[in-house]
Structure 1
Amino acid sequence: MRRTIAAGLAVLAALFSGPVAQANDSTARVGAGGLVLQKNGDIRMLSEHLSISVKRIEVEYRFRNESARTIETVVAFPMPEFHWDPEQDANWRNIGPVESFLVHVDGKPAVVRAERKALLQGRDITALLRRAGLSEDHIFRTFGDAFDTGGMTLPEAVVARLHALGASDQRMPQWRVAETAYWTQAFPAGKEVVVTHSYRPFAGRIFGTYDGARPPSEDSVPLSSIGEQDRACLGEGGMKAVLNKARQRVKDGARSGYINLKDVEYILGTGRNWKGSIGEFTLDVVKETPQDTVSLCFPGKPERIGERTLRFKMRDYVPQERLVLNFYSFE
């Protein structure tokens, strides 16, 4: 039996992993998480309601300052680092989620700022890229106008300067982008503050294929856009559910098809920066269609809310470090 994240894990799938699938193109997921501040002994997270789909992540927090004074602090939301992937096509390209990040405090929009850095092996090279002739868009969004597998389309002189910095290899950009959204938040003494935020996640994409010569099998089922084996706990039951849906398409006359995986990662561990455990924690997993299959590692048994939503609830929850969700669809 493979290692699971927590004892007593109940998921839509069971507890074993299958083999890695073969696929042509993929976009790798990268995980973002919750609100961060320095470890605070006075502000308690009364509740968190987290909703995850492949297109949107939405969170509502209720906080209470249990001290006798107003606490004003910077609240940050660190985004995952991302980089140029030459195998991404125009439709699959991940875009920095800071641009889709929205925050409301007690129903009113918060003034959110963003800090952006270009990193090369962990070193901040933002100023060097600017001096080399790159615009802000080149640095943080288009990676030197690298629109396909040919790499950057910048002038030769600029590419040469980037190569000298180690930031280019065969016109392929080598740096990563790190972004953090942040704002200043006041927590009045003894009062509740409701914070909501939402953004578009970096969802990974990968697919497996089948046809008349290769009917649906475990080899057809992708497990992870980044090569992991069991982070979403796709076990024997989950594998069977995925294969049954693919095999049903064959019975219905399909001569070939795709098993599509979109995986989403969310960092839960930031919830441990607040005082104590999370009083009430609700996780909604929202499928794109009722026919999709979802697998994840999380304690407890979900409740079905309508045709597309699965809801987990926990009390006095000490969050696990991260959550990976596999969303399977079929065509």
Structure 2
Amino acid sequence: MIRTTVLACLLFAPAMALANDGFGGLSATGLTFGQTDAVAMEEEDLFIGIEHIRVAYVFRNTTAADVTGEVIFPLPPIPLAGMMESSWNLPEDRERENLVNFTATVDGAPVPVQIDRIAVIEPPWEEGRPLNAQYDTPGRDVTAELAALGIPLTVNPDTVVAMLLAMTPDQQAKIAAAGLAEYFPTDTGSVDYVAPAWSVILRYHWTQTFPAGAVVKIVHDYENRPAGGLFGWEDPPTADYMQYQVDRYCVDAGTSRAMAKALAYTDESGETYSMGMAWNIDYVLRTANSWAGPIGKFRLTLDKGAATNVVSLCADGIQKTGPTTFVMEKTNFTPDRDLEILVAGPLER
């Protein structure tokens, strides 16, 4: 049953609650180390594909003393209510501890990575809120409140809903009063539907020492789980939602024509449509600004997955290097915006 209150919240959530023909997903990010003036990122080699992301870094401790701290790879908040109302590009096994199969090596050797989970009540959706804000200010931490109730920090909404419905009436009243969930009573007063209000955040981390004056090479990779779904396009773009895509992904006239051509097909009745599949890949570049100074050498390799796919993003100096690959290189690079990438392609017919 679609409940009005929940639906009203979800319709305004960016890439989290799409139409029935779409699925929600996660933005991706790099490594953070707090704010340091001691360790510089000399190189970042970033590969982004539809299903996989790999980043190779070269860090240098620019001081005469060892520096030790936590290297952190955060995922954005995953809203349980959003997962109840739409499909999500997450593993079939929602109970998997390492949700995106994150791995890391330091100087070529695998490093054991800890995985922390916290729960937050996210702030209200705000148009134009930068991608990095969901990592920097994710919301009110309610981890301890859920632990006191015995509720695990799973991203499986079925598990959570079953536990919330099994609570006593007094417990349900306290949970609702604390803003942790919204219960929906039936006409007879019984409760058969509940919407959890929190989101779950996974943070991968390990303790790392950067020796004085030395270079440390860190490589990490993980599954890319972007949002996406059915995608229609016409050229020239006229609908409001198309103009939003034009602005967000810097879709120029040539790319617009290419998308309309790639997505075009004719059905059995002879009707011609322009409909396909799209992936909305977000990558938070500005976490790199937590390290000392600019990125000495930055290289982005983007793989659109298939030669028939079309890609668009706001980036200067990106060059096609193969049937599916594009490369952008920068020196002394200080990211001032995050990557938002549109990949669109024909449906399998």
Distance verdict in 2 for CA 1:228–1:175, change over 3 Å? farther
Aligned to 2:211: 188
Aligned to 2:73: 77
Q: Which residue of 297, 300, 310 maps to 2:317? A: 300
Aligned to 2:131: none
Aligned to 2:166: 157
- Identity fraction in percent: 27
What do the CA deviations read for 1:17-51 (whole angstroms, capped 9, x no partner)?
Answer: xxxxx964322344231111132222221110001
Q: Which AA in structure 2 matches 1:300?
A: G
Instruction: Please say if 1:124 is aligned against 2:146.
Output: no
Deviation of residue 217 (structure 1)? 7.0
Instruction: Please say if 1:197 is aligned against 2:195.
Output: no
Distance verdict in 2 for CA 1:256–1:154, change over 3 Å? farther
In structure 1, distance between residues paired with 2:50 and 2:35: 30
Aligned to 2:41: 45
- The correspondence of residues 189-268 of structure 1 with structure 2, limited to 5 A, is 189-209=212-232, 218=237, 230-247=247-264, 249-250=265-266, 258-268=275-285
Deviation of residue 97 (structure 1)? 6.7
Distance verdict in 2 for CA 1:273–1:128, change over 3 Å? closer
Aligned to 2:332: 316
Does the 8 Å CA contact 2:246/2:252 hold for their aligned counterparts?
A: no
Aligned to 1:17: none
Q: Which AA in structure 2 matches 1:185?
A: Q
Q: Which residue of 178, 193, 209 maps to 2:201? A: 178
Does the 8 Å CA contact 1:207/1:221 hold for their aligned counterparts?
A: no
Q: Which residue of 116, 137, 145 maps to 2:159? A: 145
Deviation of residue 188 (structure 1)? 1.3
Does the 8 Å CA contact 2:263/2:345 hold for their aligned counterparts?
A: no
What do the CA deviations read for 1:164-199 (whole angstroms, capped 9, x no partner)?
Answer: 443222312211112221111111122211100112
Does the 8 Å CA contact 2:283/2:340 hold for their aligned counterparts?
A: yes
Does the 8 Å CA contact 2:235/2:257 hold for their aligned counterparts?
A: no
| SS class of match (1:130) | helix
Deviation of residue 111 (structure 1)? 1.9
Q: Which AA in structure 1 matches 2:54?
A: E
Deviation of residue 222 (structure 1)? 6.5
Distance verdict in 2 for CA 1:33–1:51, change over 3 Å? same
Q: Which residue of 268, 271, 296 maps to 1:279? A: 296
In structure 1, stretches of 5+ residues that fail to align are 1-21, 147-151
Q: Which AA in structure 2 matches 1:61?
A: Y
Q: Which residue of 21, 45, 60 maps to 2:56? A: 60
Deviation of residue 261 (structure 1)? 1.2
What do the CA deviations read for 1:134-166 (whole angstroms, capped 9, x no partner)?
Answer: 2x2xx32213536xxxxx334633285243443
TM-score, length of structure 2 as denominator length? 0.74
In structure 2, distance between residues paired with 1:293 and 1:132: 48
In structure 2, stretches of 5+ residues that fail to align are 1-17, 123-138, 185-193
Deviation of residue 221 (structure 1)? 10
Distance verdict in 2 for CA 1:256–1:100, change over 3 Å? same
Q: Which AA in structure 2 matches 1:240?
A: R
In structure 1, distance between residues paired with 2:105 and 2:294: 23
Aligned to 1:107: 108
In structure 2, distance between residues paired with 1:256 and 1:163: 47
Deviation of residue 205 (structure 1)? 1.0
Does the 8 Å CA contact 1:222/1:261 hold for their aligned counterparts?
A: no
The alignment of Structure 1 onto Structure 2 pairs a total of residues equal to 293
| SS class of match (1:272) | helix
